[in-house]
Amino acid sequence: YIYLSFVVSNSTRARKMEKMKPSAANSPPLTPLGFLERAATVYGDCTSIVYGNSTVYTWRETNLRCLRVVSSLSSIGIGRSDVVSVLSANTPAMYELQFAVPMSGAILNNINTRLDARTVSVFLRHCD
């Protein structure tokens, strides 16, 4: 009986939410970049990455590292609409590129490390 009461309660709440018109206050755009910025602001000192036995970054550190990558990309001329292809294992650097490349306005082309050389070459030729 409690479970049914909960379901009815959630159903009523859902109907009320559906009647709300989207606005900037209740319907912000959801993007990975907005997620990172909010996580750095709200959960700055919380752990975002644990890699191996010795690498640990907080959300604030991750955001700052991503901003440094954006600066580096910009310094070598990578910007809006450029394609950045990355062939890498799941490392903190790869994770940071997931945010940094879009931050720079460029397009990230992830290439799976398990693909054979021929398939990788096809991806590289067709990514523009």
Predicted confidence (pLDDT) per residue in 20-58, tens digit: 677 777 667 778 888 899 899 989 999 999 999 999 999
107: helix, coil or strand?
A: strand
The answer to whether residue 12 scores a pLDDT higher than 80 is: no
Give the pLDDT confidence score for residue 21 in this predicted structure: 74
- The residue with greater pLDDT, 87 or 13, is 87
Look at domain 39-128 and name its CATH class: alpha beta
Residue 101 Cα distances to 30, 65, 90, 126, angstroms: 17, 12, 16, 19
Over the stretch 67-98, which tens digit does the pLDDT of each residue have? 999 999 999 999 999 999 999 999 999 999 99
State the burial class of residue 84 (Cβ atoms within 10 Å of its Cβ: 0-12, 13-18, 19+).
middle
- How large is the angle between the packed helices 59-75 and 32-42, nearest 10 degrees? 130
pTM: 0.75
Sign of CA dihedral 44, 45, 49, 54: positive
Element (H, E) at 50: strand 47-51
Query: Among residues of the chain, what percentage have pLDDT more than 90?
Result: 68
pLDDT at 114 over 90: yes
Looking at the predicted structure, is the pLDDT value of residue 113 above 60? yes
